[in-house]
Chains A and B, each alone.
Chain A
């Protein structure tokens, strides 16, 4: 569980996060949605420890990040998995080497144990037999799955995903969404996912935080977001034609 209390972050004179309070629950897919520039990425980077908050606290399983020693911070980072928007696979390494990377860096396992764990994880993301390929030799969807495999190989307690579906076709996007949700439930991970994609919200939005101009404007579940009358949320959710039609159908009781 990650608990955020009164989080503030500004760059020069521009306040990006204006006092956010929110709890990301364990074993659930926690989505952060909002328009571009609403502060989602900054929020995520604060949780990852890449940005230092100006005010407020972030607690990991009840312990404030600000009280962590350097060693504890490093240890915490080994418990985090991150799925970047573009995958961020190391392009000089094969798929197998990419997935093995966190094990090589942070564990003292034998190579044979590492290889067997890598194969296990690759199988879990349906990529068996691709271990010797380079990232440039596989599709965008496969790259995302490799990135997921790398993020979970070290059995993280926290999984962060930055727009995991960007640039993917709807079918592959659904596969990635479902995979993230399954892994969250299977491993009881606290998953935090940033997205613009309302299909993702519909698929896996167990808990949703809606950010607007650095403020937590709304929170709820995927069922609640399609029933809310909150105008700031409806403006965002029903900005696409498809969801406008869904809204109309809902209102007509269809």
Chain B
């Protein structure tokens, strides 16, 4: 019953988010601020992780290709498919649930604890719209992060595979272009958009409706990470089933 109540509360929150809008000029500034904090602030860690994940995928694939009948180009093919289909959109989103999600929960939760949300409501401001809507819009730029992640993941794979002596540069480039299905990119970006919405709203829900003090803010951040990850994984399964199977 508690879960059902929470799901209902989450959708009511969303209704409130898209309810009475904050003044456009204020909203614009908030959106830019959120893009800076949520997206730009995550680029470093995303770039770092993506490059090394791509490199590891290439090495693992290369080390497992012992059969001389299997072409070496498969290293690049496997790296490309893994990075585009799963590692960039899903794995990076799980990381973002920890980084961005915890930040959203704790920042909104702290505002709840210190009565800042009450202050907004008393002033006649739709606090859900003021706090959560800019985050949702800012997260619509998240696919750019994933695009960068895909590029760097493949760059990492190239670096590890070629410099590690597993394949030649030509073999890698051939494998990279081999049997490429553009719909896989469409699929990856469709799920990225959905993940962006989940990454901004599920943690916001946990922050907005938290009760208690500083300790509970920490607990809400942890709960938020767990539930955001669960929702991401379930959505990933559902989207994959719908679009690829």
Stretch at the interface among A53-61, A80-88, A201-209, A210-218: A80-88
Chain B interface mostly? helix
Q: Does B182 contact A (CB under 8 A)?
A: no
Contact A90 B23 (CB under 8 A): no
CB 8 Å contact bits of B17-30 with A (1 = contact, 0 = none): 00000110110000
Known: A85-B115, A86-B115, A88-B114. A105 touches B26 (CB 8 A): yes
CB-nearest residue of chain A relative to B37?
A92
- Does A102 sit within 8 A of B, measured CB to CB? yes
> In the complex, which range does the number of interface residues on chain B fall in?
10 to 19
Q: How far is the CB of B128 from chain A (nearest CB, A)?
A: 14
Any B CB within 8 A of the CB of A74? yes
Asked if residues A82 and B124 are in contact (CB atoms below 8 Å), the reply is: no
A46 lies within 8 A of chain B by Cβ = no
Is there contact, CB below 8 Å, between B118 and A86? Answer: no
Q: How many A-B residue pairs have CB under 8 A?
A: 49
Most central of A73, A75, A101, A105 by chain B CB within 10 Å: A105
The answer to whether A84 and B123 touch across the interface, beta carbons within 8 angstroms, is: no
A residues near B119, Cβ cutoff 8 Å? 82, 84, 88, 90
Question: Any chain A CB within 8 A of the CB of B116?
Answer: yes
A82 in contact with B26 (CB, 8 Å): no
Within 8 A of A (CB), among B104-134: 110-111, 114-116, 118-119, 121-125
A residues whose Cβ falls under 8 Å from a Cβ of B: 48, 50, 73-78, 80, 82, 84-86, 88-91, 101-102, 104-106, 160
> Could you show 27 A-B contacts with beta carbons less than 8 Å apart?
A48-B122, A50-B118, A74-B124, A77-B123, A77-B124, A78-B123, A78-B124, A80-B122, A80-B123, A82-B119, A84-B115, A84-B118, A85-B115, A86-B114, A88-B115, A88-B116, A88-B119, A91-B110, A91-B114, A102-B123, A104-B23, A104-B25, A105-B22, A105-B123, A106-B123, A106-B124, A160-B122
Q: A80-B123, A84-B118, A89-B116 are known contacts; what are 8 more A-B pairs with Cβ within 8 Å?
A: A75-B124, A78-B124, A82-B123, A84-B119, A85-B115, A86-B115, A91-B114, A104-B26
